[in-house]
Amino acid sequence: MDRTDAELIAAVKNGDAASFEPLVQKYQGRVFATARRYARRESEVEDIVQEVFIKAFQKLDGFRGEAPFEHWLMRLAVRTCYDFLRGHQRNRETVFTELTGPENDWLDRFAVAPDHASEEAEAARQLVDKVLERLSPPARLVITLLEIEERPVKEIARITGWSVTLVKVRAFRARAEMRRILARIAKDKYL
């Protein structure tokens, strides 16, 4: 019979490190999906996920079981991703590459008839990845959590450790930052 999270965590806390493996197996998919929102290269994603689980193992004594383990782990994952973004902040400007042919075509279609530029197109996904890569770490985090994952402000405050007011201020600045990047792309393309 499968043991519950609480039983596994209690066993790990009592020194049975092997009981951590089922927890890794159960949640690694979610942690990978979260890490892929912030890192593009698969080697970086794996490094982030590995760090998340090592931190989780080390900090497990601090987990009091008041909230589900999954919430605690995902908070740790998002904070680790944020640390990763801050650590790679200097690469932000250099990683931006010129728009590819399909991305240019998608933008052209959008400029002529916005309704005909499908958001399901691969080019749109690549373009949004490029725009997100140019955002500052707090802006990228808040746009991802608030607009893409559509999480409530209070939940974002809990995940990030920021106050509700700070989340709102950073969301406002993040939207402005994103708009500036889009304006620059449009200017480079059409002027």
Partner 1 sequence: MNLNELHAKLIAAARKNPPGGHVPYAFEKRIMSHLAARPAPNLWALWGGPLWRAALSCVAITVLCGLWSFAAHRAADDAGSFSQDFDAAVFAPLNEHLEEAW
Interface residues with partner 1 (CB under 8 A)? 17-18, 20-21, 24-25, 28-30, 32-33, 36-37, 46, 49-50, 53-54, 57, 110-111, 114, 117, 119-121, 124-125, 127-128, 131-132, 143, 147-148, 150, 175, 178-179, 182-183, 186, 190
- CB of 94 vs partner 1, minimal distance in Å: 22
In whole angstroms, give the CA distance from residue 67 to residue 31: 18
Residue 21: CB minimum distance to partner 1, A: 5
Nearest-angstrom CA–CA distance, 78 and 82: 6
Single-letter amino acid, residue 4: T
Nearer to partner 1, 10 or 131 (CB): 131
Residue nearer to partner 1 on the CB measure, 94 or 190 = 190
Burial class of residue 136 (count of CB atoms within 10 Å of its CB; 0-12, 13-18, 19+)? middle
Q: Least Å distance between CB 170 and partner 1?
A: 16
**Backbone φ and ψ of 23, nearest 5°:** -65, -40
Place of tokens 């008041």: 66
